Structure 1
Amino acid sequence: MVALSTDGLAIQPSAATYELEDLVNETWQGRVRVPHFQRDFRWGSQDVVRLFDSIIKGYPIGSMLLWVRQSGAEAVTIGRTKVSAPAGENTLWVVDGQQRITSIANALHPEGNRHAPFAVYYDFKGQRFVDRPREIEEHHLPLPVLFDLIRLLDWFADPARGAREYFPEAQRIAKVLRTYKIPAYLVRQDDEKILTDILDRMNNYGKRLSRAEIFSALFAGPEEGAAERLSLARIAERVDAETGFGLIDANTVLHSILARRGPDPMRDIRNEFSPDNRRTADFSDESQEAAYAEGEAALVLAVRFLQDDAGAPHLSLLTYRALLVVLVRFFGHFPDTGDWNRQLLRRFYWRAAVSGPSVFKGSFTQMSRILCAVVKPGREEESVQGLTKSMESSVWSLPNARRFRTNEAVGKIILCSWWALGPRSPLTGERLGAGDLSELLIDQSTAAISVHRIYRRGVPKRQQFWAANRLFVPDAAESVDSFLESVTSPSVLVEERDRAEVLRSYCLSDDLIELFNSGRREEFLDVRQAAIDVGLNAFIDRMAQWEFEDTPSLDSLALDERDSLELEESDE
């Protein structure tokens, strides 16, 4: 039986009701803030659209729990909105309702509305809220215009828009938005532990807290100084800023930090930095601050290895995040790994990437646990050999390139093989770099926006999902139409001898371009698919090197020999 303390709130919460317009303005002015121990923003575009749909229909969207406290002046970021917040005696800190207030404040803000998932418009023809349309027409109105009466009048006063018949409906919706009432409970309490306890209990309903969110709340520390301290989210941002690898999710950052400190990244997190746990950790004298800093450094080393050695330039091309966690443990213990062991690690990564978790009974949890346990502190050679030996039961097989999805492991393997070809600009012949890919994929969880379908119709269904019907164009400046036009028409800036290299970098050739230009679609895809299979096979063979002996490095063999000689001499 669990004994519960009777200590609680000294002052009962008071009830209040806010009109949406007032609450939004308070947020924009920095008088509504989100505590640093709160969960990260998790909603997608459809969640935000549904929220505004509920508001306009008058549906309840739930009450908020606001913590009333004295606060200092600081720069505040809520979603995509940055605010210079003043000091105040009665600042409102959001304990419950963060997803809702962040969505509302950003979708209605001119800057916040520019970014997903807050880019919401009202479609007057469909009479509904929508995510930002690909083609914005006169019946599409961005929410910041709808919310601001002056901007709304200016919008419809412009005769060029030709949308005056929508003005009465716009007035009605704008009024409903501004006057919608949101109930809230106000808590006046200085003890942060009680607030985090309330947060934990309230989030037992709906979307459960992730391990990373629970960990962040448990080890958040005081509100004062939070802006300067490392957190899981800040580590992810800093690693991305340094490497251009993309924003690693908080759970993977947490598991990476845990893996570096101990062989089981899925262990209980509640006592991670307690004195008892420190004695059994790999880094026994390490503080929480040092664990975060060293974990970040190991993450950077692991990411650099993926980019420079393993040929995975971006998070969206990483087959399994469990493998990143294992690499963080390795580089956390052996940051100065030599060339030979890095080559063995590359073989291990690609054998694991192709085989997947099936070698470990199909479980990603088992995969990370088993592999992390193989990495032994202070024993680099044994750790490398253990990782390669762990894949002895893996079976070499060519991934099926006739089913291409950017969110599946096979699709990511194919994309890595295409990246290894060194995609080039069809206009200049210059090779595109990791910076181009990073710029294109910013805020993206998959590489979907860099992959274009060549034929959307006019080919048999069996060929629709082939890799041959996709082009990987890691350049934000190129659309598929402009790219195809450029690549099928020789550029005056690219010499003839370099044009073949440009085509090769996209699994194309002059013969394939001739098939494409002549409209022989099925033949084009058949021939290109065969070439892709050959290239994919060669890429995996080069990276995984299944047929090679995974012998220890010469330095380690020489060291073993010296140790043996020293033992023999001591016996004499």
Structure 2
Amino acid sequence: MKKPELNTTSLKIDKLINRVDNGEIKIPAFQRGYVWKQNQIIELLESLVKQYPIGSILLWEATQQEKLRSTRNIAGYRIPDKGENWPVNYVLDGQQRLSSIYSVLSDNVEQEESSEKYNPNLDIFEIYYDFSRKAFLPKSDADRTSRSVVLLRNIIDPIKLVDELSGLDKKHHSDAKTLSSIFLNYEVPVVQIKNRTKEEVGVIFERINNTGTKLNTLDLMTAWTWTEDFHLLDAIDELLEELEEKSFGSIDPKLMLQIVSGIIIGSTKTENVLRLTGERVRDNWENIEESIKAAIDFLSTEMKCSNIEFLPFHQQLIPLSRLFAKTKRVTVDQISVLKQYFWRTSFSDRYSTGQTTAKMDADIEFVNKVLDYDFSDLSKYGVSVTSKDLIETQFSKANPVTRAFLLLCAQHEPLDLANGRKVDVGNSLSSFNRKQYHHVFPNSFLTKNGVPKSRRFSVLNFCFLPSDSNKKISCKSPSDYFSTVVPVSIGDEILKSNLLPMDSNIYAMDDYDAFLERRGEVVLKAISQVTG
């Protein structure tokens, strides 16, 4: 391989536009589409006019052997391909800036239908300059009949500029020529990468790009695995749209790729993921989709997790999807072991510490053994949550212990504190709505008694409660509402179903410290029961 090169240069805007028009510069398909708003475009134009630096554009010149199978054009415009014998420069960083400059100043106004999903609305690039107001204006705000307004798209083409000048008041001619000159002569910094391996390109990008969504080697290498008839990110996006109906549409695309790899080759490690080919993914895609759906159905029916917001760790989807990919018939014993695995990992810090991919691969191996009715590896998973951890855990959906706690409570079919009816946990777990949960010791009551917020919002101080019943209890002390609101005849049954301490003296004495300690014991016992 030739000696690696990393060259820094600069290109005037018209030269940059010409290179795009000639088909020399493309967007890799693994890059997301154009996302800037019109105000961001105008801010960029203001920076150009004031000669402010706008940052560099990072291009990678790929050889014939390294060309990507799937690419897009700048902002989705219809731009010709150079052909097989020409090198292609892929934009690794600066897509939004380059697309904005090109789209506002070029005379290309036609987009390709094939990239419609990624195409921005062309109207946002129709920007004018008003010399009287000395301001850039969107088309909706510009008076196009005014003799002080020009369309920027016509400002750097000498022939079109002449036409624009004919419609301008003569007093603005000098300013128009100056504006044209500024755009023509502004030099955009360009960093050109040549003779680099694919892995090096990914690392370079990751280290240079410190803002926005970072691209890592895994994302970059995905581009090399696509076939002409299968676009992985499009397939993932379509699946996520479908999963949104099951409230699981926010699975991270990188995790989706690890699920795919886990199903096909039984590993989530990057070096193994890179062995995937587009053909293998395409040929297995139907099974992949069905397996992920089956894993979600398992979580919904067996664990009452009907929304990804309540899944303690998203990594749990990987081994579950692997299992359902390998068998369509899961026995009662296998389901029992899977449930124990789920609860043990949910109430642990397994995925909160390092070496996550190694642990996920170990989970896949565990599932492989479960498929062969070898359950011995279950002993490798243990609960690490203590009573102290539960007391100190703040009630927040961002905390995996909170999510696991709510799912655990849901298993016991909690009864409404105010009337003893079954709480619709499906509704409560369909979205994270604070109104569906209740402080057992009301927040305002504890505040009046000087209890700090961190202790008031302990996860152990919450239970399921519909909003109408919540209003009945409101800010009453436990000694008040347990004697006036909670049905006495089924009081013990209500407490048990909500994993609340059965000692009535705790509530009669409004003893919050004792409540937390005793409920911690109750919850730990419940965890022990589901983990086997």
Please give the TM-score of this superposition, normalised by the length of structure 2: 0.55
Matches within 5 A, 1:146-545: 149=141, 202-207=205-210, 208-210=214-216, 212-222=218-228, 226=231, 230-241=234-245, 243-269=246-272, 271-274=274-277, 287-357=280-350, 363-376=355-368, 379-382=371-374, 385-391=375-381, 397-398=386-387, 399-404=389-394, 405-422=396-413, 431-434=423-426, 437-438=429-430, 440-441=431-432, 455=443, 457-458=447-448, 459-461=450-452, 463-470=455-462, 484-488=470-474, 523=510, 525-526=512-513, 528-530=515-517, 532-545=519-532
| Per-residue CA distance 1:268-310 (angstroms, 9 max, x = gap) | 15742359xxxxxxxxxx7321233322222222222222223
CA contact (8 A) 2:390 2:460 kept: no
Q: Would the alpha carbon gap of residues 434 and 42 (structure 1) be closer, same or farther in structure 2, given more than 3 Å must change?
A: farther
What is the distance in 2 between the residues matched to 1:407 and 1:529?
21
| Per-residue CA distance 1:54-96 (angstroms, 9 max, x = gap) | 99998755356899xxxxxxxx9xxxxxx9x9x85589x9864
| Per-residue CA distance 1:451-503 (angstroms, 9 max, x = gap) | 67753744323624422455667x8xx6xxx774244499xxx9969996888
Report the secondary structure of 1:319's partner residue: coil
What is the distance in 2 between the residues matched to 1:232 and 1:465?
38
CA contact (8 A) 2:258 2:273 kept: no
Report the secondary structure of 2:334's partner residue: helix
Q: Tell me the residue number matched to 1:157.
A: none
Report the secondary structure of 2:208's partner residue: coil
Q: How far is 1:266 from its partner?
A: 0.7
Question: Is 1:62 the counterpart of 2:65 in the alignment?
Answer: no
CA contact (8 A) 1:212 1:250 kept: no
What is the distance in 2 between the residues matched to 1:49 and 1:497?
62
**Residue type of the alignment partner of 1:273:** L
Q: How far is 1:419 from its partner?
A: 3.1
Q: Would the alpha carbon gap of residues 327 and 51 (structure 1) be closer, same or farther in structure 2, given more than 3 Å must change?
A: farther
Q: Tell me the residue number matched to 1:278.
A: none
Q: How far is 1:345 from its partner?
A: 1.3
Q: How far is 1:312 from its partner?
A: 3.4
**Residue type of the alignment partner of 1:298:** S
What is the distance in 1 between the residues matched to 2:498 and 2:42?
43
RMSD after superposition: 6.0
**Residue type of the alignment partner of 2:443:** Y
Q: How far is 1:415 from its partner?
A: 2.2
Report the secondary structure of 1:209's partner residue: coil
Gaps of 5+ in 1: 19-32, 68-75, 77-82, 104-145, 151-180, 187-192, 276-285, 442-446, 546-572
Gaps of 5+ in 2: 17-25, 61-71, 82-89, 101-137, 143-182, 191-195
Q: How far is 1:343 from its partner?
A: 0.9
| Per-residue CA distance 1:351-381 (angstroms, 9 max, x = gap) | 23324329x9964233212222234389531
Please give the TM-score of this superposition, normalised by the length of structure 1: 0.51
Q: Would the alpha carbon gap of residues 346 and 66 (structure 1) be closer, same or farther in structure 2, given more than 3 Å must change?
A: same
What is the distance in 1 between the residues matched to 2:429 and 2:33?
25
Q: Would the alpha carbon gap of residues 339 and 251 (structure 1) be closer, same or farther in structure 2, given more than 3 Å must change?
A: same
CA contact (8 A) 2:303 2:407 kept: no
Report the secondary structure of 1:356's partner residue: coil
Residue correspondences, number:
396
**Residue type of the alignment partner of 2:260:** I
